Amino acid sequence: MEVELKARNSFTAFRGWMRRGLALSFVFAATVVFAQTSDWKAPPTAVNRPNPVPANPNTIALGQKLYVSNCMICHGQTGRGDGPGAAALEKKPADLGARIKAGETDGELFWKITEGRSPMLSWKGSLTETQRWEIVNYIKTLAGK
């Protein structure tokens, strides 16, 4: 009887440990996945590509129009990643101003907008190259906001 009880107790303890271990490995896996997804790097040729569209009030205004109609839903008015559509995504949209402050180049932004990465789609087919560079000019103004 006593032996049986002991056995049962240690089984319960074992189950408890298993559950904790499982929970821990989930947390660990999630951390690994997160670390990978937040590390989105453009190839060096793209990073160093110069912006052929000069940043001036005209091209910034054009970029703003495009941003408001295509990007704001997820990235938000000031680019923080808090647009009305962001909550439904499995991944928070990047804080664009923070990335620019951290030193992201025009070419890098352009490449990411062009290629996309789930859940953000690629803008290659729906925006021209010039339009994508204009958006870069606009989102760079968000770095100070």
Minimum separation from the CB atom of position 19 to ligand HEC (A) = 32
User: Count residues contacting ligand HEC (CB under 6 A)?
Assistant: 23
**Binding mask 57-76 vs ligand HEC (x if CB under 6 A, - otherwise)?**
-------------xx-xxx-
Token output for 105: 């180049």
135 residue type, one letter: I
- The verdict on 142 binding ligand HEC (CB under 6 A) reads no
Which uninterrupted H or E stretch holds 78? none
Q: How far is the CB of 61 from ligand HEC (least distance, A)?
A: 15
> Which residue in 46, 47, 55, 120 binds ligand HEC (CB under 6 A)?
120
Query: Contact with ligand HEC (CB under 6 A): which of 62, 123, 140, 142?
Result: 123
Among 40, 44, 52, 124, binds ligand HEC (CB under 6 A): 40
In the shown chain, the binding pattern of residues 88 to 107 toward ligand HEC, with x for contact by CB under 6 A and - for none, equals -x-x-xx-x--x----x---
Q: Is 42 left (phi over 0), alpha (psi -120 to 50) or beta?
A: beta
Contact 113, 35 (CB under 8 A): no
Q: For residue 64, how many C-alpha atoms fall within 13 Å in the half-sphere facing its CB?
A: 11
Contact in structure between 64 and 71 (CB atoms under 8 Å): no
